[in-house]
Structure 1
Amino acid sequence: MRTEQYTPSQYTHRRTSTLDLDPGERAEFWTEHVRENHCLFDYRFPGGNDFHGATQVQRARGFQLVEFWSDGIDYVRSIEQIRRDPNDDYRLVVPYRGALTIRIDDGSITLGPGTAGLISTRTPFELLHGRAVQALVLTIPAATADRTHGFEPAAQTLDLRAGLGVVLGSMIRTLADERGHFAAHDFEIACEHIVELSSALTSRIQESGADTGLAAVESSVRRHVRLNSDVPTLNGGVIARELGWSLRQVQLALQRAGTTPRELIREERLRQARRRLVDPALRNLSIAEVAFASGFSSLSNFGAAFGERFGATPREVRGLLD
């Protein structure tokens, strides 16, 4: 590992590389390095353990900018990891070589040079890329994002090829290039200006109709259910109260999408139960424990709903691990 450090006041700059490590140590080192700088992920290394990567990390007062290049890798942020390692911060991902794909639910966005992606680690997602990708990742503290309009946990694509987007991309690139010349206060001011520009761009996306009205309610309800489906008392009324809407608003938003609060909650619980049943790391859990952990209060109701949804019993699905 090769590391250099520059620490004026509370601002730190650190360079890290896997190039000096033994090939068998690189993948494990990278997982710990990413955990330290971001949060808990699962990883898939398409090229095996002989993995190459390097970062330059700038950090001060909650903001962090990571410039990285690496071989191909898949990062997976699941509901289980969110529970084990909660993190409400946002990430602004700006590739300038190669392409990255971000998958959330059944949708995905692909980012390349001239674009940026705004994502939140409070919701499940996957980030995948091939060899020789280079990108910048700015961590925006949740407290800062909460003071700013236009930030949503769902992934959004920002165009950096015109207007405010060009200014935003230039500021992020300059922030990285000048890493050796900052004090904490100056770094914080620059990051806050970047957040303001990002907010302005995301607000324009929403104003154009990308996520307004009932669509916004539906999106928030779905996120809330994904994160809380294992709570046995979760229902439409609880969702409405916790999100600050009326039950009628929640029902109308889901009706527009062809479902109901009850159906949405049951579907998420069933999907979560199926994921647990086929996870080798959870093989020690009994089927009853999986059912209760997934929010079902009755084992018989769980079995019937599971069979109807997947065409197989929980025991048969668990048998796929054998």
Structure 2
Amino acid sequence: MPGRPAAFSRISTRSVAPADRVDLWEDYNRRALVGLTCSPYSEDGLLATQTNTGLGSLRLAGIAGNEHVIERSPRTCRAAPKDSVFATLLVSGRAVFFHGGDCFTLGAGDLVLYDTRRSYLLGFPTAMRQLLVDMPREVFAERCLPGGVPAPLVFGRGAPDEAPLLRCLETVLAGRFGRPGTGDAAAERTVLELVRSLAVLRGDGGRGGGEPGTRLLLAKEHIDRHLADPRLGPEHVANALGISTRQLGRDFRRAGPSPSRYILERRLERARQDLADPASARLTVADIAHRWGFAGQPHFTRVFRDRFGRTPGEIRPAVMGPGRADSAVVRQSSRDTL
């Protein structure tokens, strides 16, 4: 059995000659993730990168590559045993997952949940990128599904109940590779709760998002997708989640600001990003305020100053194009004093 993998590691097959890439990839995966065999299907050979990091009791992998197939055959399962459940989220590209007599086609945003003790094949006919969660089987049984995963489960962004959970999971996982080792306990809990919610969806008639932590994640995901809608408010969010506004308020109070305050903070932050972005120089402050759901510029200017200690005009880049910078600042200064 391989020793415990490093807390953070990264590999690229471009670091070796084309003839050595498959051996490098298989050896690295055997040590860092799982025993497998790999077959490239590109004239360029195997061009792939992998980043691995720990998250409490979990391991995460971010993998990108060109056309290839990986297989964990019965022989490999015996030679390199692995007692985990994998959740593999395809971020981009297409894939085919073969397990026993079943064959599933995956598209961007789909996730497959499977037991690594059983053989499988995963083929990528296009360039691909995926995020993978490696959950020790005892952790998965305790925190997600007591019975484990007897057969693979496939979840898709085309399913209304599953799509928000998948988007949340992708956001959480993608964020871990930029800051490994920070906030591990909370992030581990979030990942397991999202995986559990997805798995439970198949067994309880679609009530997989019933845990308070999951509801909060879904509420925030809904808010971020509807910030531009001026009608967005606690009632709008509660209706989307199928809960009462009182329950929504309780879920938010466990973590910090109220739903209304959270919506305002997110709108202000997105507006601040646009104001500071030279690419938005052609937009007026009123345009940006409207873009992020503010009904009027005076109200936007007031709450913006309260939040950031500066007016929207003071956030804008000093140079926004020939003849525009000074006049824009003057116009905004006069507006901010209204």
Tell me the TM-score range normalised by the shorter chain: 0.5 to 0.7
CA separation in 1, counterparts of 2:166 and 2:186?
14
Match of 2:98 in 1: 103
CA separation in 2, counterparts of 1:204 and 1:60?
24
1:76 counterpart (71, 77, 82): 71
Match of 1:124 in 2: 119
Residue by residue over 1:252-289, the C-alpha shift from the partner in whole angstroms, topping out at 9 and shown as x without a partner, is: xxxxxxxxxxxxxxxxxxxxxxxxxxxxxxxxxxxxxx
Structure (1 or 2) with the larger CA radius of gyration = 2
Q: Are 1:103 and 1:109, in contact at CA under 8 Å, matched by a contact in 2?
A: yes
CA separation in 2, counterparts of 1:36 and 1:48?
27
Match of 1:53 in 2: 48
Partner-residue secondary structure (3-state), 1:181: coil
How far the C-alpha of 1:42 sits from its partner, in A, is 2.5
Moved over 4 A (4+): none
Q: Are 2:53 and 2:60, in contact at CA under 8 Å, matched by a contact in 1?
A: yes
Q: Are 1:168 and 1:194, in contact at CA under 8 Å, matched by a contact in 2?
A: no
2:85 counterpart (87, 90, 95): 90
2:57 counterpart (55, 62, 74): 62
Paired residues, number: 199
1:206 counterpart (203, 206, 211): 203
CA separation in 2, counterparts of 1:83 and 1:189?
35
Q: Are 1:12 and 1:58, in contact at CA under 8 Å, matched by a contact in 2?
A: yes
The root-mean-square deviation of aligned C-alpha atoms, in Å, is 2.6
CA separation in 1, counterparts of 2:181 and 2:32?
20
CA separation in 2, counterparts of 1:152 and 1:50?
34
Match of 1:241 in 2: none
Residue by residue over 1:32-67, the C-alpha shift from the partner in whole angstroms, topping out at 9 and shown as x without a partner, is: 122122222222222368311111221144311111
Residue 24 (1) aligns with residue 22 (2): no
Q: TM-score w.r.t. structure 2 length?
A: 0.53
Match of 1:42 in 2: 37
Structure 2 residues without counterparts, runs of 5 or longer: 207-338
CA separation in 2, counterparts of 1:159 and 1:49?
31
Choose between structure 1 and 2 for higher RCO, CA contacts under 8 A separated by at least 6 residues. 1
Partner-residue secondary structure (3-state), 1:206: coil
Q: TM-score w.r.t. structure 1 length?
A: 0.56
Q: Are 1:63 and 1:188, in contact at CA under 8 Å, matched by a contact in 2?
A: no
CA separation in 2, counterparts of 1:116 and 1:179?
19
Match of 1:143 in 2: 138
Residue 159 (1) aligns with residue 124 (2): no
Identity %: 19
Closer/same/farther in 2, CA of residues 163 and 51 from structure 1, 3 Å limit: same
> 2:48 is matched by which residue type in structure 1?
G
Closer/same/farther in 2, CA of residues 87 and 198 from structure 1, 3 Å limit: same
CA separation in 1, counterparts of 2:192 and 2:101?
28
Match of 1:317 in 2: none
CA separation in 1, counterparts of 2:125 and 2:185?
32
> 2:170 is matched by which residue type in structure 1?
I
Residue 180 (1) aligns with residue 167 (2): no
